């Protein structure tokens, strides 16, 4: 399963202001998860990337929805942690660890996913060029399950979901504090 390869690509594209990302990882067992959500990209950027397979492969759980201006990849995949969180050492990916007590720790490496933002802030011309492209775009990831035990993100009132979200324009703010990880312990 190359879902998080697509998410890593989306993370990189999000930092270039082209993609909105909204993904939910639901832990359903000691070694079982499902991921659902969507990534939306400007159609022009999709064509520059080399087409739909690079962005939304049906083999990887994606369903492509096209309009005149946008392409949206609706994602749905289930399986073992290895199947859902395929590890490619060259790309950031979440890590799910069974804690042996009916809970799983899920860690997203946010610092790796947002590493390019420092380069954008360091060059005032790049930052000025990126500002209109980043405005209005959001990157959101969620972890869900029977009960959220703890999280570095925001936990909903029912304690069944934790989320971390940021407006992409915020990466141009040198004072913004991005956490290194988004970590959640969830009971399945």
DSSP string, 96-155: EEE-SSSEEEEEE-HHHHTTTHHHHHH-HHHHHHHHHHHTT-EEEEEEESSEEEEESSEE
Residue 149 has pLDDT above 80, yes or no: yes
Residue 4 has pLDDT above 70, yes or no: no
Residue 50 has pLDDT above 80, yes or no: no
pLDDT for position 100 = 96
Stronger pLDDT, 170 or 46, i.e. the higher one: 170
HSE (side-chain half, CA atoms, 13 Å) at 149: 14
Mean pLDDT of all residues belonging to the chain:
83
Beta bridge partners of 23: 37, 141
How large is the average pLDDT for residues 118-147? Answer: 84
How large is the average pLDDT for residues 169-188? Answer: 88
pLDDT for position 90 = 66
Residue 8 has pLDDT above 90, yes or no: no
Whole-number Å distance between alpha carbons of 164 and 151? 10
How large is the average pLDDT for residues 150-157? Answer: 98
Whole-number Å distance between alpha carbons of 100 and 114? 31
How large is the average pLDDT for residues 55-74? Answer: 88
Residue 2 has pLDDT above 60, yes or no: no
73-113: pLDDT as tens digits: 999 999 999 888 865 656 778 899 999 999 999 999 888 76
Look at the alpha carbons of 153, 7, 27, 100 in this order and tell me if their dihedral is positive or negative.
negative
pLDDT for position 88 = 61
Share of the chain above pLDDT 70, in %: 84
pTM assigned to the model: 0.83
Q: Which residue, 78, 93, 81, 87, is CA-closest to 141?
A: 93
pLDDT for position 3 = 46
pLDDT level of residue 129 (50, 70, 90 thresholds): confident
Greatest CA separation found in the chain?
Answer: 51
Pair of tokens at residue 131: 């500002």
Size (the chain), residues: 188
């Amino acid at each position: 399963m190359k879902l998080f390869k697509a998410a890593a690509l989306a993370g990189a594209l999000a930092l270039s202001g082209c993609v909105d990302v909204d993904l939910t990882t639901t832990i359903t067992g000691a070694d079982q998860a499902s991921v659902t959500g969507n990534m939306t990209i400007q159609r022009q950027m999709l064509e520059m990337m080399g087409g739909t397979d690079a962005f939304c492969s049906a083999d990887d759980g994606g369903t492509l929805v096209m309009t005149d201006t946008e392409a949206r990849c609706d994602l749905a995949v289930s399986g073992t942690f290895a199947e859902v969180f395929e590890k490619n050492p060259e790309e950031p990916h979440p890590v799910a660890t069974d804690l042996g007590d009916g809970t799983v720790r899920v860690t997203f490496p946010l610092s790796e996913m947002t590493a390019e933002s420092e380069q954008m802030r360091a060059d005032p011309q790049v930052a000025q060029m990126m500002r209109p492209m980043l405005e209005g775009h959001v990157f959101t990831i969620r972890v869900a399950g029977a009960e959220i035990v703890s999280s570095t993100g925001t936990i909903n009132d029912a304690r069944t979901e934790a989320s971390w979200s940021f407006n992409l324009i915020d990466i141009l703010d040198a004072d913004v504090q991005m956490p290194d990880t988004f970590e959640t312990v969830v009971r399945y």
